[in-house]
Amino acid sequence: MSRIIHLFLPVLSLGVSAGVSADCVRNEYGIFEAKPCAIDALELDKRELKVAYESLLAKLDKTQRVALVKSQDAWSAYVDAEVNLNYAIEGDGADGRTEAVQIRELRTHERVQELSKWRL
């Protein structure tokens, strides 16, 4: 297992998401060992993030919306930077690309949880 994955400890309680194969389970580091599982989960997480973001955005006043948009932009830049770090360390071969998907999936899953806590 790569060095990058160890950065994810401790991990939020992350179960198998609905819509992801029952054969897909997260390991003790909170990631899916199989790349297809991470890809499927990432696609699901992206859809859930869009719903959570748009739902929250609709409930906020103008000042709050501006803050949320800035926060989301900063979060997106952070995830991109983390993926770029992964490529710098692991390279862009199969292992590096697999870990990039896993990083994006885990961070997106976490972001859905973060945005969902704002029940206004």
Domain positions in the chain are 4-116
For the cut 60, the answer to whether the pLDDT of residue 2 exceeds it is no
Q: What pTM value is reported for the model?
A: 0.77
Is the confidence at residue 6, as pLDDT, over 70? no
Listed range (22-26, 68-72, 80-84, 108-112) with the worst mean pLDDT: 22-26
CATH class in words for 4-116: mainly alpha
Task: Return the residue matching tokens 């297992």.
Answer: 1
Q: Is the pLDDT of residue 4 over 60?
A: no
Contact predicate 20/44, CB 8 Å = yes
Taking the alpha carbons of 88, 90, 94, 95 in that order, is the dihedral positive or negative? negative
Instruction: Give the residue carrying structure tokens 């969902």.
Output: 116
Please state, in angstroms and rounded to a whole number, the distance separating the CA atoms of residues 106 and 70.
21
Residue 67 banded pLDDT, cuts 50, 70, 90? very high
CA distance 2 to 88: 13
